[in-house]
Amino acid sequence: MTVINLGIIGGGQLGSMLATAAKKLNIKTTIFCDDKNAPAQDFCDDFIFGNYQDSEKIKEFTDKINLVTFEFENIPFETLKKINEIKKVLPNPEINKIIQNRLTEKDFVNRLNIQTTKYKLIRNKKDLEDSLDFIPGILKTSTLGYDGKGQFKINSKNDLDIVKINLNKEYIFEKLVNLKKEISVIITRFGPQKYEIYEPIENEHEHQILKYSKIPAEIDQDIFEKSKEWSKKISEELDYIGTLCVEYFIDKNNTLYVNEIAPRVHNSGHLTINSHNISQFENHIRAVCALEKLETKKLFNAKMINLIGKDILNYRDKKFNKNEFFFDYQKKEVKPKRKMGHFTTLIK
C-alpha cells in the first residue's frame, strides 16, 4: 500500500492536532507555514517554512505531497487556487473564497433562507453615520479577522467619532445580538448526504475569544435540531469535504442565528479528542483522504477550557486525574490573548 503524504497549510495548534490524528491513521504529513516557529513542526513528518506567495516554496511543497488541506481559512485565495491546479486541495478553495469575506459569507447563508445577524457593508464614515439603526453594533473588518481581532464595538452614536475607518479596507457593521448563549455545530462531510455530525457544543467567550466549551449544550430540543439541520444544509450547499464548524448565536427570545462558518476544524471541537470515539481531527483526515467513514459516537460528556496567555503556567507542572487531559501547544513565547493550550475534563 502506498503511503499518503498529506500537505497541511498552516502550522498552529490545529495543524499539530491534524498531524497527530493523521499519524494514527498511518498518513504522513508535510506542513507549509510562514512562521518559522510554527508549533506544528514538532508533530508532522516534514516542515516547509516559507511565504505563501513564494512559487519555489509552493513547488517544494506540492512535490512532496499527494493532496492538501489547511488549518486556517485566511490563506490567500490565489495561493490555494495555484496549489489546487497541481495537487487537489480539500475543502475546495472556492469555498474559502466565499467564507474568507464576512459579507459574501453572510450573503451565502441568507440565500439558503438561514438567518444571520443584521449586517451591512461599510466603506467610509458616511456609511457608518447612515447606519444608526444598527447601534448598538459591532464593526468588523470584512476579511482576516479572528479571535475578535479587527472588531470595534459601537455602543452609542458618540462612539462613531472614535472609530477609525481605513478607506483601503471594507468593513461589515453588525447589529449586536442580545445573547443568551453561543453554540457551535461541527460536521464532517464525506460526500453527498454522507456525514458525521457532533451534537451542539455550548461556548462561552471572554473578550471575544473562546474560553469555555461543553457538551451537552443546555438548549431546547428545537434549537438542538435546527442548528444541526442548518449545518447539514450549509455543508451540502458548499459541497464541502472535511470538517466544518458553524458558530451560532441564540438571543434572549430563543432565536437562532448563524454567526459564522469556519471551513476547518474548530477550537470548540477540541473536546471531541477525548469525548468521542473519533475526533473532529480524525474525521477531517478520513474525509479528505477518502478513508472509511466510521460511525462517530459520544463516549463521555465533557468540558474544555482554553488556556490563554499566562493561564498555561499553572498547568505545566500540575498533576491530573484520569478524566483530565492537558494539551500544551508548545508555543515558544507566552503572549497575552494567545491560545497556549487547553484542558478537557470528562464528565460522567
**Residues forming the site for ligand ADP (CB under 6 A):** 117, 138, 145-148, 174, 176-177, 179, 182, 205, 208, 247, 259-260
Q: Which is nearer to ligand ADP, 176 or 197 (CB)?
A: 176
CB of 154 to ligand ADP, least distance (A): 11
Grid cell 432565536 is found at 255
CB of 186 to ligand ADP, least distance (A): 15
CB of 269 to ligand ADP, least distance (A): 14
CB 43 within 8 A of CB 18: no
CB of 62 to ligand ADP, least distance (A): 29
CB 195 within 8 A of CB 189: yes
Q: How far is the C-alpha of 31 from the C-alpha of 61, rounded, in Å?
A: 8
Residue nearest to ligand ADP (CB): 177
Q: Which is nearer to ligand ADP, 147 or 236 (CB)?
A: 147
Phi, psi (5° rounding) for residue 309?
55, -130
The Cβ of residue 47 has, within 10 Å, a number of other Cβ atoms equal to 19
Q: Which is nearer to ligand ADP, 55 or 178 (CB)?
A: 178
**How many CA atoms are closer than 13 Å to the CA of 102, on its beta-carbon side?**
27
CB of 203 to ligand ADP, least distance (A): 7
CB of 209 to ligand ADP, least distance (A): 8
One-letter-per-residue 3-state SS of 101-125: CHHHHHHHHHHCCCCECCEEEECCH
CB 75 within 8 A of CB 49: no
Q: Which is nearer to ligand ADP, 20 or 117 (CB)?
A: 117
Question: Does the bond joining 39 to the residue before it have cis omega, within 30 degrees of 0?
Answer: no
CB of 297 to ligand ADP, least distance (A): 28
CB of 10 to ligand ADP, least distance (A): 16
Q: Which is nearer to ligand ADP, 183 or 307 (CB)?
A: 183
Q: Which is nearer to ligand ADP, 50 or 150 (CB)?
A: 150
Q: Which is nearer to ligand ADP, 104 or 330 (CB)?
A: 104
Q: Which is nearer to ligand ADP, 24 or 169 (CB)?
A: 169
217 CB-near residues (< 8 Å, 6+ apart): 181, 183, 199, 200, 201, 202, 224
One-letter-per-residue 3-state SS of 165-205: CCCCCCEEEEECCCEEEEEEEEEEEEECCEEEECCCEEEEE
DSSP 297: -
CB 226 within 8 A of CB 256: yes
